[in-house]
Amino acid sequence: SRHMVHELVSNLRKELAGVAGCAVAIAPPEMYIDMAKREAEGSHIMLGAQNVDLNLSGAFTGETSAAMLKDIGAQYIIIGHSERRTY
């Protein structure tokens, strides 16, 4: 939820304040990446996506391309996540 993303980013910002040499990335649900990007602005928290469509272009309803994810601020993508492979 929006609240969970807000709490996660807020708590990470507090915990990471003054910590050097530590890279942190979060992968919120796709619909919250843009919100997480705004919340993490000015911090060292990087953003990822939980899934990506392998097709570069075409009509793939409900799927999101790497270019679209990059456009909203995702810097990483979890590929082959066990939960995605289960279903």
38-48 confidence digits (pLDDT tens): 999 999 999 99
Alpha helices (H) in the chain, listed in sequence order: 2-16, 33-40, 66-71, 82-86
9-57 confidence digits (pLDDT tens): 999 999 999 898 888 999 999 999 999 999 999 999 999 999 998 887 7
Q: Which domains does the chain have, with CATH numbers?
A: 2-86 (3.20.20.70)
Give yes or no for a contact between 26 and 9, defined as CB atoms under 8 angstroms apart. Answer: yes
Give yes or no for a contact between 64 and 33, defined as CB atoms under 8 angstroms apart. Answer: no
With bands split at pLDDT 50, 70 and 90, how would you rate the model's confidence at 79?
confident
* C-alpha to C-alpha distances, 33 to 59, 62, 84, nearest whole angstrom: 22, 16, 19
Residue 25 DSSP SS3: strand
pTM, rounded to two decimals: 0.82
